[in-house]
Amino acid sequence: MAFIRPSARVRRQGPRAAASAVASADAQHPPWYKDHGIRKMMFPVVLIYLTQVCTGFDATLTANLQSFKKWRADMGTPTPSQLGLITAIYFIGTFCGSVPASIITDKFGRKIGLAIGQGLTIVGAAFQGGSQSRGQYMGARFILGFGIAFITCAGPALLSELVHPRMRGTLVSFFNPFWYLGSIIAAWTCFGTSHMAITNAWAWRIPSLLQGLIPCFVVPSIYFIPESPRWLVANGREDEATAILAKYHGEGNAEDPLVRTQLVEIKVAMQQATEGVTWRALFTQKQNRARVLIVMCMTLMALWCMQNVITYYFSPILNTIGITGTTQQTGINGGINIVCLLSAILGASIAERVGRRPLWMSSFIGMILVAVPFTALSAVYAQRKVQGAGYGVIVCLFLYDVAYNIACNPLLYSYPTEIMPFYMRSRGLAVKNLTGQVALIINMYVNPIALAAIGYHYYIFFIGLNLFWLTMIYLFFPETKGYSLEELAVLFDDGSENVLVQGQKVVGETSSDYGVDNKGQASEPKVEEVTASAR
């Protein structure tokens, strides 16, 4: 298997090994809180964040509705296997929507992809709220899952390509923590409607219909979200791209060095990059194979690191340590959700400061350190019924989620958008979605069987698996902190500082040799043809 391992210098030292043209131009700008462009940019950024709130609400709603007797009756009192299919159909919808979402997002723009995702959410919410049978409910869940594929493909791509380069690491990392906000809103909405009469179907129909509330606000507001400047340049609309970059990155000045530098880099990256690019290119070029394998590995390790067992089989885990009361379990679950949100926000806040590699490694080291006492305490309680061990397991549950969400939540979408070049970005996110949905479906069938068969011994397997993931991070995950999206190409060109773009190369020893001259003015790079063998 051909796989590029980023050079040790690039992998560990990060961007300071070479000067960044964008960073040099950005150094002339005021702090973010004094930058009018960055402040203007926050409104469209928040609108994009709201789409991920929808994802968190939609993804966890069925799990909340399962406690409603009227919902179970209206669904025909489903058996465990039928209940599993009702849950899985949402993820099957996302799986089926991933490739169409990538194609449409590339052809018609990131904004269109986002609008389609939100429109499908409105349709799915209406059908779910009005469903009269299990089949209708499942059809609605499929539509919702299909729409989520568009949101998670277009949203992170648009964020990474639109936001100010100085704020990219932080703002894109904040996208996924909003999933927890949606999850918390869903839980408390269902808690509120659970006080309605036990025979009142509106107890589950109201939360179902509310899935469409945020999209009803976002869809008409799409007008206020700018299109990706990268997509505009790739589609021959350079003037529009310049205007957007000037408004949000150059305080209205189209001749600002940062604006001109970014345009130079974007144009170089787009030369030939959008011609003849197919899905096959993801696997035929070794640089692309490296990117795809990292995205797949990152997705699998975020879903196969024991946290998914904790999330989806929370009640059985608490049952094994003697905590069986509904009030106790819902209280602990509510507390964990809040801790997850706060720790994900913390991770997003420090991603740009500490870098992606340290964040990834800290997360998995933390999970390994917590998993050991978690497993030991679970064993003590299972064998001796020591109450103190049970309380220790609860503490470990909280600590494990903190360690997980420091990196695995905020970097789940931001990291793929950074390591993927423009012409692969939406396809890379589609690969991430496809991999993730397959992993989730496998989890649904394997985890309950393993927990029932071997109990706490199952946790030992994840300790070993997390050690493997940590090794993969150390060996193959490059640092992306401080680079522009176009400069990140160097991480996959055998450590070379020359930016290779689909058969062309920017000549120069470092990225500082192009983009900004010694007077702070933007300069065009020299571009020379290279043969296919040079790739």
Output the 3-class SS for 237-298. Answer: CHHHHHHHHHHHHCCCCCCCHHHHHHHHHHHHHHCCCCCCCCCCHHHHCHHHHHHHHHHHHH
Block residue for tokens 């011609």: 275
**Looking at the domain assignment, is residue 518 inside a domain?**
yes
**Looking at the domain assignment, is residue 3 inside a domain?**
no
Q: What is the pLDDT of residue 356?
A: 94
**DSSP characters for 157-214?**
HHHHHHS-TTTHHHHHHTTTTHHHHHHHHHHHHHHHHTTS-TT-THHHHHHHHHTTHH
Asked if residue 273 has pLDDT above 70, the reply is no
Q: What is the pLDDT of residue 318?
A: 73
**Looking at the domain assignment, is residue 214 inside a domain?**
yes
The pair phi, psi for residue 516, each rounded to 5°, is -135, 130
- 192, 226, 260: which is the final residue of a domain? 226
* Calculated CA dihedral for residues 131, 137, 142, 144, nearest 10 degrees: 60
- How many whole angstroms separate alpha carbon 232 and alpha carbon 275? 15
Number of alpha carbons in the 13 Å side-chain half-sphere of residue 375: 18
Across the range 345-363, mean pLDDT stands at: 94
Asked if residue 479 has pLDDT above 80, the reply is yes
Considering the domain architecture, whether residues 453 and 477 belong to the same structural domain is answered as yes
Q: Can you give the CATH number for the domain in which 344 is found?
A: 1.20.1250.20
**Longest distance between any two alpha carbons in the chain, whole Å:** 75
User: For a pLDDT cut of 70, what percent of the chain falls above it?
Assistant: 81
- 482, 506, 526: which is the final residue of a domain? 482
Q: What angle do CA 2, 6, 8 make, to 5 degrees?
A: 135
User: Taking the mean position of all CA atoms in its chain, how far away is CA 204?
Assistant: 29
| 510 confidence band (pLDDT: 50, 70, 90) | very low
Considering the domain architecture, whether residues 110 and 209 belong to the same structural domain is answered as yes
Q: What is the pLDDT of residue 286?
A: 81
Considering the domain architecture, whether residues 456 and 516 belong to the same structural domain is answered as no
| 506, 525 contact by CB (below 8 A) | yes
Q: What is the pLDDT of residue 351?
A: 92
| 278 confidence band (pLDDT: 50, 70, 90) | confident
| 3 confidence band (pLDDT: 50, 70, 90) | very low
- How many whole angstroms separate alpha carbon 85 and alpha carbon 78? 10
- How many whole angstroms separate alpha carbon 55 and alpha carbon 43? 19
**Looking at the domain assignment, is residue 408 inside a domain?**
yes
- How many whole angstroms separate alpha carbon 312 and alpha carbon 306? 10
Structure tokens at 61: 């709603």
The pair phi, psi for residue 527, each rounded to 5°, is -125, 130
Considering the domain architecture, whether residues 250 and 137 belong to the same structural domain is answered as no
Q: What is the pLDDT of residue 27?
A: 53
Of residues 23 and 331, the one with the higher pLDDT is 331
**Looking at the domain assignment, is residue 457 inside a domain?**
yes
- 439, 457, 482: which is the final residue of a domain? 482
Number of alpha carbons in the 13 Å side-chain half-sphere of residue 301: 30
**Looking at the domain assignment, is residue 473 inside a domain?**
yes
Q: Which residues have CB under 8 Å from 484's CB, separation 6+?
A: 20, 21, 22, 165, 262, 265
Residue 78: DSSP 8-state: -
Burial class of 221 by CB neighbour count within 10 A (0 to 12, 13 to 18, 19+): middle
Considering the domain architecture, whether residues 267 and 387 belong to the same structural domain is answered as no
Sign of the alpha-carbon dihedral angle for 446, 447, 449, 450? positive
| 142, 87 contact by CB (below 8 A) | no
Considering the domain architecture, whether residues 95 and 158 belong to the same structural domain is answered as yes
| 134 confidence band (pLDDT: 50, 70, 90) | very high
Considering the domain architecture, whether residues 384 and 326 belong to the same structural domain is answered as yes
| 330, 67 contact by CB (below 8 A) | no
Structure tokens at 15: 């961007």
Q: What is the pLDDT of residue 160?
A: 92
Sign of the alpha-carbon dihedral angle for 509, 511, 512, 517? positive
Across the range 399-406, mean pLDDT stands at: 95
Across the range 432-452, mean pLDDT stands at: 86
| 95, 108 contact by CB (below 8 A) | no
Asked if residue 211 has pLDDT above 50, the reply is yes
Asked if residue 503 has pLDDT above 90, the reply is no
Considering the domain architecture, whether residues 169 and 48 belong to the same structural domain is answered as yes
- Residue 322: other Cβ atoms inside 10 A: 12
Q: What is the pLDDT of residue 489?
A: 67
Considering the domain architecture, whether residues 331 and 381 belong to the same structural domain is answered as yes
Considering the domain architecture, whether residues 218 and 231 belong to the same structural domain is answered as no
Burial class of 224 by CB neighbour count within 10 A (0 to 12, 13 to 18, 19+): exposed
Of residues 431 and 19, the one with the higher pLDDT is 431
Q: What is the pLDDT of residue 118?
A: 97
Asked if residue 446 has pLDDT above 80, the reply is yes
| 272 confidence band (pLDDT: 50, 70, 90) | low
Of residues 496 and 341, the one with the higher pLDDT is 341
Strands 504-506, 500-501: parallel, antiparallel or unpaired by DSSP?
antiparallel
The overall average pLDDT reported for the chain is 82
Look at 257-271, 273-287, 447-461 and tell me which has the smallest mean pLDDT.
Answer: 273-287
Amino acid of residue 46: V
Sign of the alpha-carbon dihedral angle for 490, 492, 496, 500? negative
**Looking at the domain assignment, is residue 30 inside a domain?**
no
> Domain span at residue 233?
227-276+484-535
Amino acid of residue 367: M
Q: What is the pLDDT of residue 21?
A: 56
- How many whole angstroms separate alpha carbon 422 and alpha carbon 215? 27
Residue 494: left if φ>0, alpha if ψ -120 to 50, beta else—which one? left
- Residue 433: other Cβ atoms inside 10 A: 23
pLDDT digits (tens, 9 = 90+) for 143-154: 999 999 999 999
Sign of the alpha-carbon dihedral angle for 174, 168, 406, 60? positive
Asked if residue 517 has pLDDT above 60, the reply is no
Considering the domain architecture, whether residues 457 and 320 belong to the same structural domain is answered as yes
Asked if residue 383 has pLDDT above 90, the reply is no
- How many whole angstroms separate alpha carbon 95 and alpha carbon 434? 5
Considering the domain architecture, whether residues 476 and 489 belong to the same structural domain is answered as no
Across the range 384-411, mean pLDDT stands at: 90
The pair phi, psi for residue 465, each rounded to 5°, is -65, -40
In total, how many domains does the chain have? 3
Amino acid of residue 49: Y
**Looking at the domain assignment, is residue 7 inside a domain?**
no
Across the range 269-275, mean pLDDT stands at: 62
Q: What is the pLDDT of residue 16?
A: 46
Look at 441-445, 517-521, 530-534 and tell me which has the smallest mean pLDDT.
Answer: 530-534
- How many whole angstroms separate alpha carbon 410 and alpha carbon 49? 12
Across the range 447-464, mean pLDDT stands at: 86
Across the range 88-108, mean pLDDT stands at: 94
